[in-house]
Amino acid sequence: MHNVAVVLAGGTGQRMGLEIPKQLVKIAGKPIMQHTLQVFQSAPQIDEIIVAMTPGFVAEAEAIVAAAGCTKVTNVIEGGATRTETTMRAIETVSATTPEANVLFHDAVRPFIDHRVIEDCVKALERYEAVDVAIPSADTIIKVDDYGGTVIKDVPRRDLLRRGQTPQCFRLPTIREAYRLALADPDFTGGKVSATDDCSVVLRYLPDVAIVVVPGSEQNMKVTHPVDVFLADKLFQLSSQAPPPPPGTEKDYTSSLSGKTVVIFGGSQGIGADIATLARSFGAQVYSFSRSETGTHVESSPDIEAALAKAHGETGRVDYVVNTAGVLHTGRLDEIDDAIVEESLRINYLGPLKIARAAIGYLRESKGQLLLYTSSSYTRGRAGYSLYSSAKAATVNLTQALADEWAEDGVRVNCINPERTATPMRTRAFGEEPADTLLSSHDVALTSIDVLISELTGHTVDIRRHDPTAVSR
């Protein structure tokens, strides 16, 4: 069955006090709607995407579609004055070209929809005509009186209540017939019968059609109020993003990397050295720089500029710039020597900044990518790691900011967040540790290659020992 995702982007942003539709507000470096579209674009079950946009903002939506490379989007239509009008226009658009299809209606301002929910919805439509997505309610829901809503009239059983989300999914003939009957009802068209969503229309006008519930996700939140923007931004910052499916074979990697130029800072050992070895094996031209091997200091702008100029001068291009250089000092901040504080800040924070400043011209020319590295300690400062964790938190923020700043240049910026990894830097800080408690630097390097050749940008990619994508290749 042809599966069509309809992204409902008809909101105005009034509840957030905005002059633009809330779906155009940027979160983690991109408009909210762009995050949502990219999830459906990458979902293998989705064949086509239609965007129903706020009247007067179709051009902005089309620009987002183009910038995001959403090739599955076939139409950006103007929504109506109400949710019902917008849904009807979408149904008419789908029906014009595809009389038989599955339609998944999803709020544009739910950017955390994931592939598991989409897959479960499509599978459910193989057996059922209508599917809703919902999660259990952790709160007690009360029913109040009609006059002012100040008196409790009922407390429904919480175990029978669910919080509705989207997508809401239907076989096209079913949702089309439900709205045909609704529009023929004077009470519906006159406003006496309210329909806050599409499932309520099916429930009222096609009562014999079972609406099955698919489990949603707590993260599948709707950005509605000002505080939601803050929460969503933090969720993007703190939540891991799975790397893209790997090409899977050496031939595919070679096709992606052959002839490309990779510049690695901190490439003498650990993850950087393994990235260099892998990239060379896949046909890339690799330039590795480090303090120990080439006398290159990442806190030195002249050193960085000389390294990039060498690579570009000899190959005529710089496609990927990777910075794995870092130092890890532990201890109480008030007891650490000033020289250690200065070194930590210069290498772990100023280093990435200076590399970014020097690399942008080359990456703009190649439409390439800057890849940085953080640590799980960036999510919260830990005793004994104040210098390291604060610099790594800054690296995540730098990644998101640069992904936004450089999007118009076609330059991607991502950040790798590996679990504890067996590297010489870690051994120097903590001594020998059981091998089965650490990731291998090779596994981190290979996932780093996956991210380099992907279209991801602005992401923090977690790599865990139990993650099969990190250890199975």
Are 190 and 322 members of one domain?
no
Are 225 and 322 members of one domain?
no
- Read off the amino acid at residue 116: R
- Total domains in the chain come to 2
Tell whether 245 is covered by a domain.
Answer: no
* pLDDT band, residue 442 (cuts 50/70/90): confident
> Is residue 375 classed exposed, middle or buried when 0-12, 13-18 and 19+ CB atoms within 10 A define those classes?
buried
Structure tokens at 154: 């009922």
* pLDDT band, residue 63 (cuts 50/70/90): very high
Structural domain harbouring 277: 250-471
* pLDDT band, residue 192 (cuts 50/70/90): confident
* pLDDT band, residue 473 (cuts 50/70/90): very low
* 46 to 2, 31, 438: CA distances (angstroms): 8, 21, 37
Tell whether 425 is covered by a domain.
Answer: yes
Are 55 and 189 members of one domain?
yes
Give the CATH number of the domain where residue 22 resides.
3.90.550.10
Q: In a 3-state reduction of DSSP, which class is residue 312?
A: helix
Residues 6+ apart with CB under 8 A from 96: none
Q: What pLDDT sits at residue 247?
A: 42
330, HSE (Cβ side, Cα atoms, 13 Å)? 11
**Helix (H) / strand (E) containing 314:** helix 301-315
Q: Helices 301-315 and 351-366 sit at what angle, rounded to 10 degrees?
A: 20
Give the sign of the dihedral formed by CA 397, CA 401, CA 407, CA 411: negative
Are 158 and 197 members of one domain?
yes
Tell whether 244 is covered by a domain.
Answer: no
Answer yes or no: is pLDDT of 201 > 90: yes
Q: Domain ends where: 195, 214, 238?
A: 238
Are 351 and 231 members of one domain?
no
DSSP 188-218: HHTTSS--SSHHHHHHHH-TTS-EEEEE--T
Are 265 and 205 members of one domain?
no
The alpha carbon torsion through 112, 1, 469, 352 (nearest 10 deg) reads -40
Q: What pLDDT sits at residue 245?
A: 47
Mean pLDDT of the chain: 88
Across residues 137-146, what is the average pLDDT?
A: 89
Q: Helices 386-405 and 351-366 sit at what angle, rounded to 10 degrees?
A: 20
Answer yes or no: is pLDDT of 316 > 50: yes
Contact 211, 199 (CB under 8 A): yes
Does the pTM surpass 0.75? The reply is no
Q: What pLDDT sits at residue 352?
A: 96
Q: What pLDDT sits at residue 249?
A: 45
Top-confidence residue, 140 or 242: 140
Q: What pLDDT sits at residue 472?
A: 28
* pLDDT band, residue 117 (cuts 50/70/90): very high
* pLDDT band, residue 68 (cuts 50/70/90): confident
Are 77 and 223 members of one domain?
yes
Question: Which DSSP symbol is given to 28?
Answer: T
Are 326 and 219 members of one domain?
no
Q: In a 3-state reduction of DSSP, which class is residue 460?
A: strand
Across residues 365-389, what is the average pLDDT?
A: 85
Q: What pLDDT sits at residue 454?
A: 86
Are 220 and 255 members of one domain?
no
| Per-residue pLDDT tens over the stretch 403-438 | 989 988 999 999 998 876 656 666 665 666 666 666
Give the CATH number of the domain where residue 314 resides.
3.40.50.720
Answer yes or no: is pLDDT of 469 > 60: no
Q: What pLDDT sits at residue 168?
A: 97
Across residues 263-278, what is the average pLDDT?
A: 92
Residue in this structure with the two tokens 């999830």, named with its chain if needed: 39
Are 92 and 231 members of one domain?
yes
Contact 307, 263 (CB under 8 A): yes
Are 255 and 234 members of one domain?
no
Residue in this structure with the two tokens 């330059």, named with its chain if needed: 411
Structure tokens at 383: 């005793």
* 325 to 265, 408, 445: CA distances (angstroms): 6, 28, 14
Q: Domain ends where: 210, 238, 266?
A: 238
Q: What pLDDT sits at residue 237?
A: 64
Q: What pLDDT sits at residue 329?
A: 83
Answer yes or no: is pLDDT of 467 > 50: no
Across residues 260-274, what is the average pLDDT?
A: 93
Q: What pLDDT sits at residue 468?
A: 43
- d(Cα 33, Cα 51) in Å, to the nearest integer? 10
Least confident span in 165-179, 223-237, 290-304: 223-237
